[in-house]
């Protein structure tokens, strides 16, 4: 990918995936890797930070005799995602118009 994903964009992507359904770290990484250049070592610190900030919660579920840690979005995380989505719309409209050669929306 030519453009780098900053922290807020990565947070928004993680929250968006978890808004659809709870998932565990490896599955989340694979979902994000389909759209971003991302490694597991990048994702786990993000998950820890979002959990610490109360945007995510975790729970364990037994799978094949082992516990798998699942992540779920919280109410606070849903509010933050709404904030990110509003910001993304503005970002996309202004920069998209500028980069693609049209007039900038105001």
Give the C-alpha separation, 10 to 38, whole Å: 10
3-class DSSP state for residue 5?
coil
Give the C-alpha separation, 58 to 95, whole Å: 36
pLDDT of 6:
86
Q: In terms of Cα–Cα distance, which of 34, 16, 8, 33 is closest to 71?
A: 16
pLDDT tens digits in sequence order for the chain, 106 residues long: 566 778 999 999 999 999 999 999 999 999 999 888 887 788 999 999 999 999 999 999 999 999 999 999 999 999 999 999 999 988 888 888 888 886 544 4
pLDDT of 44:
92
CATH top-level class of 7-99: mainly alpha
Question: Nearest 5°: phi and psi at 71?
Answer: -115, 140
pTM attached to this predicted model:
0.85
Give the C-alpha separation, 62 to 102, whole Å: 53
The set of long-range contacts for 77-80, using a CB threshold of 8 Å and a minimum separation of 24, is: 77/15, 77/18, 77/50, 78/15, 78/19, 80/11, 80/15, 80/55
């Amino acid at each position: 990918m030519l453009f780098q994903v900053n922290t807020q964009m990565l947070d928004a992507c993680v929250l968006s995936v978890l808004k659809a359904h709870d998932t565990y770290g490896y599955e989340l990484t694979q979902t994000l890797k389909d759209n971003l250049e991302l490694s597991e070592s990048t994702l786990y610190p993000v998950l820890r930070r979002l959990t610490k900030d109360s945007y995510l919660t975790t729970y364990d579920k037994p799978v094949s005799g082992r516990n798998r840690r699942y992540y779920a979005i919280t109410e606070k995380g849903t509010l933050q995602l709404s904030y990110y989505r509003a910001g993304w719309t503005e970002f996309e409209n202004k920069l998209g118009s500028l980069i693609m050669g049209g007039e900038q929306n105001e």
